[in-house]
C-alpha cells in the first residue's frame, strides 16, 4: 500500500502578475481622479483630498485582502490505506471519500486550455462534476456511486493511482 500526499500551490509568476495588475488597476484611475478633482476646484482640493485618501486606502486594503486570499490558495491531497481526503483552503475544508463511494477513477492528460487556467474550483450542477484544479499536466477523474464526478489535478499521476487502488482494495 502506497501513501500519497501532494500539495499544489499557485505559481509565483501568477502571483507577481496579480500583484502588479492589482496595483496598476488601483493607482492609475485614482491618480487621474485626483488630478481631475484638483482641476475642477481650481487647485484647492482639501475636501476632495480627504475623500480621495479614504477611497484610495479602502481600495488598497480591499486589494490586499483579495490578493492574500488568492495567494494562499492551494490543493492538498492525502491518501493512505484508511482514508482519502482533499481540500482547497481557504475556501474548501477537508472532504473525505469512503472506499465504497468510488465507482471508478482514471488519469487524463490536461488539454492546453486546462493548463492555462491557473487555479480553479468549479461545480456544474447539470453534469454533477466538481473540479479542484491547479495548472498541472495531469488530473485524476473520480466517478462516485452517487453520480458525481470529481477532478483533482496532480503532478504525480502514477503514484496517485497506486494509492487510490490500494485505498479501494483495503476498503473492500
At 117 the pLDDT is 54
At 26 the pLDDT is 73
- Say which residues have a Cβ less than 8 Å from residue 81's Cβ, sequence separation at least 6: 1, 3, 166, 167, 170
- Structural domain for 150, as ranges: 75-171
At 51 the pLDDT is 72
CATH number at residue 100: 2.30.29
Share of the chain above pLDDT 90, in %: 18
* Count: domains in the chain: 2
Residues 94 and 13 in one domain: no
Chain center to CA of 133: 7
- Please give the average per-residue pLDDT across 2-25, as a whole number: 77
Global pTM? 0.69
Residues 22 and 45 in one domain: yes
Amino acid at each position: 500500500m502506497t501513501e500519497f500526499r501532494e500539495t499544489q500551490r499557485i505559481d509565483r509568476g501568477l502571483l507577481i502578475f496579480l500583484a502588479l495588475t492589482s496595483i496598476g488597476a488601483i493607482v492609475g484611475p485614482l491618480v487621474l481622479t485626483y488630478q481631475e478633482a484638483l482641476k475642477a476646484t481650481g487647485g484647492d482640493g482639501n475636501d476632495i483630498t480627504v475623500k480621495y485618501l479614504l477611497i484610495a486606502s479602502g481600495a488598497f486594503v480591499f486589494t490586499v485582502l483579495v490578493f492574500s486570499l488568492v495567494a494562499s490558495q492551494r490543493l492538498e491531497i492525502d491518501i493512505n490505506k484508511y482514508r482519502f481526503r482533499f481540500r482547497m483552503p481557504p475556501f474548501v475544508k477537508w472532504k473525505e471519500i469512503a472506499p465504497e463511494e468510488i465507482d471508478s477513477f482514471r488519469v487524463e492528460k490536461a488539454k492546453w486550455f486546462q493548463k492555462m487556467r491557473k487555479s480553479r474550483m468549479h461545480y456544474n450542477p447539470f453534469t454533477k462534476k466538481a473540479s479542484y484544479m491547479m495548472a498541472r499536466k495531469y488530473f485524476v477523474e473520480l466517478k462516485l456511486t452517487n453520480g458525481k464526478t470529481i477532478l483533482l489535478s496532480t503532478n504525480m499521476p502514477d503514484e496517485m493511482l497506486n494509492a487510490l487502488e490500494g485505498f479501494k482494495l483495503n476498503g473492500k
